[in-house]
Structures are given as structure tokens and as C-alpha cells.
Amino acid sequence: MLKRIIKKSLIAVLTVFAIVTVSFLMVRFMPGDTLIHLVGADRYYELLEDSPKQLEHIAELYGLNDPLWKQYLKYLKSIVTLDFGIAYSNHLPVLDNVLSCARWTLILSVPTFIIGGFLGAVAGVLAGWKPGGAFDRIMTPVMIFVNTVPTYCIGIIFLVVFAFKNGWFPVNGMTNGTSTGIARILDIMWHAALPLCLLVMFRTAGNFLLMKSNVSQVRSEEYVTTAYSKGLTEKKVLFRHVMKNAMVPYVTSLCMQLGSLLSGSMMLEVIFGWKGMGNLFYSAVNSRDYPTAQLCFMISAVCIVAGTLLSDIVISFIDPRVKDAIDEY
Amino acid sequence: MNTEKKAGRAARRTFRMNPAMTAGIIIVGILALTAILAPVIAPCDPYQYGVPYEKPSADHLLGTNDVGQDIFSELLYGTRVSLLIGVFTSLVVTVIAASTALVAGYYRGWPDKLITAFTNVMMGLPNLALTTLLVAYLNPGKISIIISIALTAWTGTSRILRSRIIQLCEMPFIKIEKSLGVSDGVIMVKHLIPNLRDVILSRAALSVSNAMLTEASLSFLGFGDYGEKSWGNILHYAFYQKGVIRGFTWWYLPPILCIALSVMGFMLIGYYGAQRKEDGTDA
């Protein structure tokens, strides 16, 4: 098991390295002058007119005149020292910007993770336990529909119905900016209600389908038949045999979802004007603010890698049967 | 011959369909027809400017947008772009996935290890974020959208195909062919691919729906092909040019329905196609 964990960790480190390299190469091989991407198009032309010297200084700073491998080493060094440059939008260090946005995203994604994980599991077990029953026949098409339709499509419809038409919820933003203390918390909750509802809905749908297929697969295993023929009650079979086995892939998937806590809600954040990581990334790409976009990309990628690694470790603890099989990646 | 029997059975299975799949095929068929006949059906030129913000009328079935273009014609032409990008991306994805899976699953050894490690690394990347970055910084256009989506989308299919190929290679008919000295290429083209056809097709349908979804998301965010009409693009303008706030249902609802319906159509084909395959092998 230790060997397996070490191997998986190595792959994770390799992936992080690949992510860092990709984001280095991307800006260097992008069409157009690299400097445009690094300082932003507007500022680039501004500087080109006013003070070409400063532009040269910036190029020097990034080492753009050096050979590629030297630039790469310099870049790696800046990453290790957590120096990601200055954002053009407000001239603060990129890292500070991103971290303050990450907090807002977590307000949405942590409850989604918990509630969606719970609801999806319960509904999935109910549907998978009695396939073809009334609950299954109603829920499955609904959940498949929710799972297929793009988030922002339903998001826009929700926005129109609940915010514009009826005015039950705010249209945009995260707080009214004036209240303090408990009122502020309530206000944030009120603003978060719509996007949170949607996120929970989509997460529940995905989890439901996963859990349902797990449970219905385990149900047809021979040991379940054996358990029944031993004379165990329905409840005991469900909790002792079916749930235990169905939970294994489910827990793996939950760990993976932990990895996408920061990157999973981009579209809805954009629609609801929620200034989280996804929105920051969107506006950074939109205004060609490469340092910010790059850091958002790297942070969310590293989180996803960490989530995958976590799921690998967790599964080798809870399910000792998983070994380095032939089919294993 | 064992293989011929298998291939024959596979061919006959293709014609057994369930209602979900039929529904999917009907949706996709209508979409394809619309895309081909768009210039014939469309009442107006979707690029023609006119009176902005018109309500639906006999002249403009779904009204006009913020620069007075006919929304109904926009939608019809949008089918072309969405479908084109979906199908071509899926083609690229399937070719990449199938070839990597064939090399990895058939030859094993170091190519397998290399490809597997590479697939793992690719799977660790956040898809939408990477695609958005690429599309935003590459030269805008359909080709860069296709490349950006395909770059991260092939890993899942490759994984599934590889494990199927490993299973197949353990079967006697492949082993016999190998020991008879049939060349690797012939075994792959004549035996492996026909036996994987159902999986490949259903995964391809799923990747069409994924690609259409990603394309719609990108265009909705405004990172798509500016000059082209696509559903995501229409929705982008409806959202950012106050169509949604003013409650112009005829502007934002049709593209939403089109996106949802087409994604659903390909999804049904892919999802139930895969299920059918499993039923077939069990029987």
C-alpha cells in the first residue's frame, strides 16, 4: 500500500510540474509579443508610447531576452518563492487578490459539497435499492436532465424567475455593503441563496446518478443473495453489505469533488456576479490579465491534483482489495 | 470463424434500439437537417442589421436582437457552428483516444507506461479553465476552439478503450491471429476496432455533447468566435445586452432550449448506446 501511495504521489508531483510548465510555455508561444501578455495590452501600448525604457526594464525583469531554459529556471524560482507578479486591475500582488476571492468561492462550494454529497447519497440509495420503483422512475429522468443541461442555462432561468420577475432574491453581488455583524451574515446568505441552490441541485444530480448505479450494481452481486438467504432483514442487507460496498466509489468521487472546490462554480459565479475565483479568472482572461489568470489556473489545477491524490490514498485505506492491478493506471 | 460471428452479431445488435436512443437520434437528425438547410429555411440574413429589440412578429418569428438581427435566423445558423464544432471536436478526440489506446493496450510495455502517465497528467488539468485560457490567448476562430477542447477531452475515452483492448487481447481469437503472424496493423483494423465499435461510437456521441456544451459555455462567456453565430453567442448578447433583465423571453429562451436539447440528444445516444453494449456482451 505504501508503494502505491508513493507511486501516486510521484504522479501528482509530475502533474503539478506539468501544469507549471504548461502555463510557462503557453504565454511564451502565444501569438503576439510575450510582453503584451505579461503586462496587459493597454499598459503595453501606454508604456510603448511614454517610456519604452520601462518596458525594457520589465522585459529584463522577466528575463525575456535570455534563452528559454534560463527563463524557465527564473520562472520556477518565482513560483517556489510564491512571487506571482502584480495584477493590472488594482496593482496588488496577484496572490492577495486570488486568496481573497477564494474565500468567497468557499462560501458557495463548501455547503454545496456537504449538502450535495448528503442528498445525492440518500436519494441515490433509495433509487438504486428499488430500481423500477416509483421513486426511481420519477427521480432518474429528472436527475439525468439536471445533470445534462448546462448550469448557466438553468441559472439564467432561475435568475429571471426568482430575481427579476418576483424580486425574492438579489440579482447580483454578494452583500449590500452596509450592514455589519449578524445582519451582514444574513445578507450574505440571502445573496448566496440562488447560486447555492443551483450548485446543490447540480451536485445532487451528479451524486445521485453515481450512487444509484453503485447501489444497483452491488445489489446484483452474489454476496447480497447470500446475505438474503442467510435470513438477514432487508435493513441489515442494505446497511451491512450494500452500503459498505457502494460507498467505496462514492467516497472516491467525493474526494475528487474536494479538489474542485475552488474551480467548480465558474459559470454560476459569472452569472450571479459572485466575486469568487471563477469570476476572477473570467475577468482576468477577459481583460488579458495573464498573471492573475495563470495563478487562478494553477491553484485550481493543483487543487484538482490534490483531490485525486487524496482519493487514491483514501481508497487504498478503506478498500484493501485495491492493489496495483493490470488495469490500473 | 469466431471473429466473423462476433462481427455479425455486432452488426445485428446495432439495429436493436431502445426508445431513449430513438429520441436521441431523432433530435440529432433534426439538428443535422437544420444545419444543412439553414440558408433555405432562414427567413432573413442573420448578419443583416435592422430595427433593434423588436418583439416577435410575422416578419421576425423570434424578434430581433440589440443590433436588429433576426433571432430565428441566428438560431438556425447557430446550429451549423455548434454542430460543426461538436462533431469535429469529437472526431479529433476519438482519433487521438483510439490511437493512444491502441498503442498502449496492444503493445503494452514502455509505450503503455508512457501513455498512461501522460493520460494521468492530462486528467489532472482543470478542463474548462485550461480551455478558456487557450481559446482566449490563441488566435480566435473555430480551429483554435476545436483544438482547445480536444486537448483535454480525449483522456476518458482513451482510458476506457485501453482497458477494453487489454481485455480483447486476452481473447483466443486475437491470440490465434497473433501466433499466425498476422501483422499488427491488420489485427487492429480488422479485429480490434470492429469489436470496439459500439464503445467508440457511444463515447464519440458523448464527446460531441461535451464539446457542444463547452463551446456554448465559451461563447456565452464571450471567448468564442466573434464573427460567427452560435447559440452560446446569442445567449451572450442576450445576457450582456440586457435581454435577460428586460424579460425578452424570445431572445434568451430559444438558445437555452437549443443547447439543452442538443446536448441531451447526443447524451441519450451515447449513454444508452453504452448500456446496450453491456447488455449485448452479457447475453
**Which of A22-26, A124-128, A157-161 is predicted least confidently?**
A22-26
CA of A309: which chain B residue's CA is closest?
B124
What is the C-alpha separation between B149 and B128, in angstroms, rounded? 8
Q: At what angle do helices A94-129 and A277-286 cross, to 10 degrees?
A: 130
In this complex, is the C-beta atom of B145 within 8 Å of any C-beta atom belonging to chain A?
no
In this predicted structure, the answer to whether residue B282 has a pLDDT above a threshold of 60 is no
Q: Once rounded to an integer, what is the mean pLDDT over residues B88-116?
A: 91
Pick from A15, A144, A270: CB nearest B120: A15
Would you tell me which residues 284-303 of chain A have a C-beta closer than 8 angstroms to some C-beta of chain B? Answer: 285-286, 288, 290, 293-294, 296-297, 300-301
The whole-angstrom distance between A177's CA and the closest CA on chain B is 23
B239/A271 CB distance under 8 A: yes
Supply the pLDDT for residue A327: 42
Q: At what angle do helices A2-29 and B127-137 cross, to 10 degrees?
A: 20
Each residue's pLDDT tens digit, B185-198 = 888 888 888 888 88
What is the C-alpha separation between B78 and A148, in angstroms, rounded? 20
Per DSSP, the residues of B87-128 read HHHHHHHHHHHHHHHHIIIII-HHHHHHHHHHHHHHHTS-HH
In this complex, is the C-beta atom of B32 within 8 Å of any C-beta atom belonging to chain A?
no
Task: Report the alpha-carbon angle B270-B272-B277, nearest 5.
Answer: 95
Sorted by where each begins, the domain ranges of chain A are 103-275
Q: What residues contact residue A26 under an 8 Å CB cut-off, 6+ apart?
A: B133, B134, B137
**Which of A48-57, A138-147, A288-297, B201-210 is predicted least confidently?**
A48-57
Supply the pLDDT for residue A290: 78
What is the C-alpha separation between A253 and A112, in angstroms, rounded? 14
Supply the pLDDT for residue B81: 86
Q: What residues contact residue B130 under an 8 Å CB cut-off, 6+ apart?
A: A22, A297, A301, B148, B151, B152
Per the CB < 8 A criterion, the answer to whether B89 and B148 are in contact is no
Q: Which residues of B touch A9 (CB under 8 A)?
A: none
The whole-angstrom distance between B43's CA and the closest CA on chain A is 26
Supply the pLDDT for residue B174: 87
ipTM: 0.79
Residue A197 CB burial class (10 angstroms; 0-12, 13-18, ≥19): middle
Per the CB < 8 A criterion, the answer to whether B71 and B254 are in contact is yes
Total CB pairs under 8 A between chain A and B: 119
DSSP state of A40: -
Interface test with A, best of B113, B125, B148 (most A CBs within 10 A): B125
Q: Which residues of A touch B263 (CB under 8 A)?
A: 148-150
Distance in angstroms between the alpha carbons of the first and the last residue of chain B: 19
B264/A263 CB distance under 8 A: no
Q: Which residues of A touch B134 (CB under 8 A)?
A: 26
Q: What values do phi and psi take at B83, rounded to 5?
A: -70, -45
- For domain A103-275, give its CATH number from 1.10.3720.10, 1.10.760.10, 3.30.565.10, 3.30.530.20: 1.10.3720.10
Pick from B124, B159, B223: CB nearest A304: B124
Each residue's pLDDT tens digit, A183-232 = 888 888 888 888 899 999 999 999 999 998 888 888 888 888 888 888 88
- pTM > 0.90: yes or no: no
Domain presence at residue B138:
yes
CA of B275: which chain A residue's CA is closest?
A213
Helix (H) and strand (E) counts in chain A: 15, 0
Domain presence at residue B88:
yes
In this complex, is the C-beta atom of A162 within 8 Å of any C-beta atom belonging to chain B?
no
Share of chain A above pLDDT 70, in %: 91
Number of domains in chain B: 1
Neighbour count for residue B180 (Cβ, 10 Å): 8
Per the CB < 8 A criterion, the answer to whether B230 and B82 are in contact is yes
Structure confidence at residue A31 as a pLDDT band (50, 70, 90): low
Distance of CA A32 to the CA centre of its chain: 31
CA of A267: which chain B residue's CA is closest?
B217
B222/A286 CB distance under 8 A: yes
Q: What values do phi and psi take at B253, rounded to 5?
A: -75, -45
CA of A281: which chain B residue's CA is closest?
B129
Residue B140 sits in which domain range? 37-279
- In 3D space, the residue among B32, B216, B180 whose CA is nearest the CA of residue A152 turns out to be B216
Q: Which residues of B touch A308 (CB under 8 A)?
A: 123-124
Q: To the nearest whole number, what is the mean pLDDT of chain A?
A: 82
In this predicted structure, the answer to whether residue A326 has a pLDDT above a threshold of 60 is no
**Which of A274-283, B7-16, B171-180, B250-259 is predicted least confidently?**
B7-16
Supply the pLDDT for residue A201: 92
Sign of the C-alpha dihedral computed for residues B230, B234, B239 and B240 taken in this order: positive
Highest mean pLDDT among A24-38, B150-164, B240-254: B150-164
Q: What residues contact residue B103 under an 8 Å CB cut-off, 6+ apart?
A: B111, B112, B115
What is the C-alpha separation between B262 and B240, in angstroms, rounded? 24
Each residue's pLDDT tens digit, A97-118 = 888 888 888 988 999 999 999 9
Domain presence at residue B22:
no
Domain presence at residue B199:
yes
What is the C-alpha separation between A148 and B23, in angstroms, rounded? 15
Highest mean pLDDT among A177-181, A295-299, B41-45, B242-246: A295-299
- In 3D space, the residue among B119, B101, B262 whose CA is nearest the CA of residue B192 turns out to be B101
Per the CB < 8 A criterion, the answer to whether A128 and A214 are in contact is yes
CA of B166: which chain A residue's CA is closest?
A327
